C-alpha cells in the first residue's frame, strides 16, 4: 500500500469548504494550555467553535455564563460549546458532527481538541487522517503547542514528549512570559526555533492571546478556502538556516538544500539532538512513480522516525504542482494546485525527523530518482 495516495483529490477547494477545520491544542503538563483555551473562549471569534476537552472541571466556565448543560456537553453564553471525550476520540468527533446535523447543538465551524499534558499528539492526528468517517467531515488545520516560559527549558531537557510536541507544532505559544526573566525567555525562544524553524512563536502572558494568532495554521486560507502554500510550507525558514551554516549543495541534477535542527547559538539538550528538520529541493521534475517508491520506502523503513513530511512537488506527469502532507505512517490525500504560488518551480520537501539524519533521507530520495522506471 502506498504511503501517498496514487491520485490527487478531485476538487480540494470544494472538499476544504465542506470539512470542518480541527486545531489540536497540546503542551506539556502545566504549560498553560487550559488557561489559554479558557481565555480564548472569551473572544467573540470563538462563538462558532466546539471544544473537546478531558473534563469540564479543568476549565473555569463560570465567567462564560453557561446557558445549557448535559452530562457531556456545555453550551456557553457566547454561542460556543464544550464537550468531553466519550471514551474514544473518533466516537466523540462522529457523535458531535451528528448532533450538529440534527440540530441538537449550536452550529459550529471549527473544532479545538485539547490533549492531556503527557499526550503524544500524533495519535490524534492519525485519528483525523485515517478514519474514513472522521476524514470525510473534518480536516486538520494545525497543531498548537504551549510551552511554559518558566519551566520550558527544564521540561525539554527531561521529557522527550515535550520535545516532540514542539517539533510537530504548526504554531508555538510561550506562556507565563510575565513570570520569567527576559534572558530565560530569550534562551527558550532560541531553543524552540532550533527545534522547529518554521512555526510562528507567540508570547502569551496570563493566557491572553487573540484566536487569530493560534488558529488557521493549515494549508487553506480561512476566508477563501484556497491553498496558501507559501505561508503553510515556509521553506524559507529551513533554507535560510542552510545558507547561514553552509549546508546547501547540489549533485546528480538534483539540488538539495538542508536546514539543521539547531543553530549554533541554540541551547542544546540531549533530546533536542534527536530532532532534525530540513528541506530537500529537487531542481528537475520528478517521475510520480519514482516519488511514490521513495515515499513508500521511507515510511516502510523509517515511518516511526518521520514526525512530519510536507512539500510542494513538480511532477512530470502532472500539469499542476502537487501538495503532500504526512504524519509518520499516514498521508493526507494529495492536493493539486491550479498554479504555482511563485516563480520557483522546484520541488520542495520539508522533513521533520527523530533519530533519523538528513543524509539517510537524501540518499534514499536520490536512489529512487536516479533509478530507471521499469517498462510496463
| Tens-level pLDDT at each residue, the chain (376 residues) | 356 655 555 555 555 557 899 999 999 988 988 888 888 888 888 889 999 987 766 666 655 666 676 778 888 877 788 888 877 889 999 999 999 999 988 899 999 999 887 778 888 888 888 888 898 899 888 999 999 999 999 999 998 889 999 999 999 999 999 999 999 999 999 999 999 999 999 998 766 788 888 888 888 776 666 778 888 888 888 865 544 433 333 434 455 444 444 433 344 556 788 899 999 999 999 999 999 999 999 999 998 999 999 999 999 999 999 999 988 888 888 889 989 988 999 999 999 999 999 999 999 999 999 865 543 3
For cell 477545520, the residue is: 21
List beta partners, residue 330: 327
Q: Is residue 136 part of a domain?
A: yes
Query: Is residue 6, in this structure, part of any structural domain at all?
Result: no
The dihedrals phi and psi of 248, each to the nearest 5 degrees, come to -75, 140
**19 and 157 part of one domain:** yes
What are 196's three cell numbers? 522547529
Residues 6+ apart with CB under 8 A from 253: 283, 284
CB 85 within 8 A of CB 52: yes
Cα–Cα dist 116/34, whole Å: 10
Whether residues 186 and 280 share a domain: the answer is no
Domain containing residue 99: 12-213
What is d(CA 78, CA 76) in angstroms, rounded to the nearest whole number? 5
> Do 149 and 235 sit in the same domain of this protein?
no
The reply to whether 60 falls in a domain is yes
Strands 201-204 and 171-175, sheet pairing: parallel
Domain edge (last residue) among 188, 213, 238? 213
pTM for the model: 0.84
Question: Based on the domain organization, do 243 and 317 belong to the same domain?
Answer: yes
What is the per-residue pLDDT for 8?
Answer: 57
Residue 188 sits in the same domain as residue 333: no
Residue 7 lies in a domain: no
Residues 56 and 96 in one domain: yes
Question: Is residue 147 assigned to a domain?
Answer: yes
Is residue 46 located within the same domain as residue 187? yes
Write down which residue in 213, 248, 281 finishes a domain. 213
Q: Is 121 in the same domain as 192?
A: yes
Integer Cα distance of 342 and 327 in angstroms = 26
- 239 and 320 inside one domain: yes
How deeply is 221 buried, as exposed, middle or buried, from its count of CB atoms within 10 A (0-12, 13-18, 19+)? middle
Unique residue bearing C-alpha cell 487550559: 34
H-only helix segments in 103-181: 122-130, 132-137, 152-158, 160-167
Domain membership flag for residue 376: no
CA distance 185 to 34: 21
Does residue 222 sit within a domain? no
- Contact between 83 and 73 (Cβ < 8 Å): yes
CATH number, domain with residue 167: 3.40.50.300
The residue among 184, 96, 178 whose CA lies nearest residue 137 is 96
| Biggest distance spanned by C-alpha atoms of the chain | 68
Judgement on whether residues 54 and 200 belong to the same structural domain of the protein? yes
Three cell numbers written together for 349: 520537501
Both 242 and 361 in a single domain?
yes
Q: Which of 160, 178, 213 is the last residue of a domain?
A: 213
> Looking at residue 67, what is its pLDDT?
66
Return d(Cα 76, Cα 106) in angstroms, integer.
10
For residue 219, being part of any structural domain is answered with: no
CATH number at residue 361: 3.30.1220.10
Indicate if 260 and 128 belong to the same structural domain: no
Count the Cβ atoms, other than its own, within 10 Å of residue 186: 11
Separation CA 140–CA 113 (nearest Å): 11
Q: How many domains does the structure of the chain reveal?
A: 2
User: What is the rounded distance in angstroms from the CA atom of residue 349 to the CA atom of residue 14?
Assistant: 25
Amino acid at each position: 500500500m502506498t504511503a501517498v495516495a496514487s491520485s490527487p483529490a478531485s476538487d480540494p477547494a470544494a472538499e476544504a469548504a465542506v470539512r470542518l477545520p480541527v486545531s489540536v491544542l497540546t503542551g506539556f503538563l502545566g504549560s498553560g494550555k487550559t488557561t489559554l483555551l479558557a481565555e480564548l473562549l472569551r473572544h467573540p471569534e470563538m462563538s462558532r467553535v466546539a471544544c473537546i476537552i478531558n473534563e469540564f472541571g479543568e476549565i473555569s466556565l463560570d465567567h462564560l455564563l453557561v446557558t445549557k448543560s448535559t452530562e457531556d456537553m456545555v453550551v456557553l453564553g457566547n454561542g460556543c460549546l464544550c464537550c468531553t471525550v466519550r471514551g474514544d476520540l473518533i466516537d466523540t468527533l462522529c457523535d458531535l458532527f451528528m448532533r450538529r446535523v440534527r440540530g441538537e447543538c449550536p452550529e459550529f465551524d471549527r473544532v479545538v481538541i485539547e490533549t492531556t499534558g503527557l499526550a503524544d499528539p500524533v495519535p490524534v492526528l492519525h485519528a483525523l487522517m485515517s478514519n474514513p468517517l472522521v476524514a470525510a467531515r473534518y480536516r486538520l488545520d494545525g497543531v498548537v503547542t504551549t510551552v511554559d516560559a518558566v519551566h520550558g527549558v527544564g521540561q525539554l531537557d527531561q521529557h522527550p514528549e515535550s520535545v516532540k510536541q514542539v517539533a510537530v507544532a504548526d504554531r508555538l505559544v510561550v506562556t507565563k512570559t510575565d513570570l520569567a526573566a527576559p534572558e530565560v525567555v530569550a534562551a527558550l525562544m532560541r531553543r524552540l526555533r532550533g527545534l522547529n524553524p518554521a512555526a510562528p512563536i507567540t508570547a502569551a502572558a496570563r493566557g491572553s492571546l487573540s484566536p487569530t494568532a493560534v488558529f488557521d495554521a493549515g494549508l487553506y486560507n480561512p476566508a477563501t478556502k484556497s491553498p496558501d502554500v507559501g505561508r503553510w510550507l515556509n521553506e524559507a525558514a529551513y533554507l535560510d538556516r542552510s545558507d547561514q551554516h553552509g549546508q546547501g549543495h547540489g549533485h546528480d541534477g538534483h539540488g538539495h538544500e538542508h536546514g539543521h535542527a539547531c543553530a549554533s547559538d541554540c541551547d542544546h539538550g540531549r533530546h533536542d539532538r534527536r530532532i532534525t528538520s530540513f528541506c530537500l529541493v529537487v531542481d528537475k521534475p520528478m517521475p510520480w512513480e519514482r516519488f511514490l517508491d521513495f515515499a513508500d520506502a521511507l515510511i516502510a523503513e523509517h515511518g516511526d522516525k518521520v514526525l512530519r513530511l510536507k512539500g510542494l512537488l513538480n511532477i512530470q506527469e502532472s500539469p499542476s504542482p502537487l501538495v503532500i502532507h504526512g504524519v509518520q505512517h499516514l498521508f493526507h490525500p494529495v492536493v493539486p494546485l491550479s498554479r504555482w504560488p511563485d516563480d520557483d518551480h522546484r520541488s520542495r520537501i520539508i522533513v521533520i525527523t527523530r533519530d533519523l539524519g538528513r543524509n539517510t533521507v537524501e540518499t534514499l530520495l536520490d536512489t529512487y530518482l536516479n533509478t530507471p522506471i521499469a517498462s510496463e
